[in-house]
Amino acid sequence: MSKLLTDRRNAVTLLTLNRPEVHNNVDDELAMMLADAIIEFGDDESQHVLVIAGAGDVTFCAGANLKGMRELFEHRHTGSAGPMGFARLDPGKPVIAAINGNCWAGGVELAVWCDFRIVDVRAKFGLLNKRWGLSLADGGTQRLPRVVGIGNARCT
């Protein structure tokens, strides 16, 4: 089964990160698929809104696959889209994060990359990457303070 599910409903494209067994973390293959899908959405004049969700009801996205960090910094879209496949892209249309569960580390970066966030009441957020001494690598250091305010961003 594909690591990224794509569903077009009229003028809305729904992308679902489909790795629930690893909390929808993003490996290099998923990052390339995500970048390809975002670029395709941006180029498709019949599509007006992009929604990004995570498969299952536990985790929206747990961020990068820590077992494959080297590959995330070496795939074909790293330079143009960032390690997780979205940070440097701008489809020029509204993007909505449908946060249906836990949102950790790079998942937070994906959420703040989106223009809007719709959050389930059970969702929890955290920058757990700091536990391993890893910084945000997909624009989160810039976007998070813009979304939640500098004081709140410093508390995370």
Where do the structural domains in the chain lie, given as residue ranges?
4-155
Mean pLDDT (10-residue bins), the chain, 156 residues: 96 98 96 97 98 96 86 87 87 96 89 93 75 55 54 51
pLDDT confidence of residue 13:
98
Q: How many Cβ atoms are within 10 Å of 56's Cβ, its own excluded?
A: 17
* Helix/strand/coil for 61: strand
Q: Is the dihedral of CA 72, 73, 76, 81 positive or negative?
A: positive
* Helix/strand/coil for 9: strand
Going by C-alpha positions, the residue among 40, 33, 65, 76 that lies closest to residue 137 is: 65
The CATH architecture assigned to 4-155 reads: Alpha-Beta Complex (3.90)
pLDDT confidence of residue 137:
55
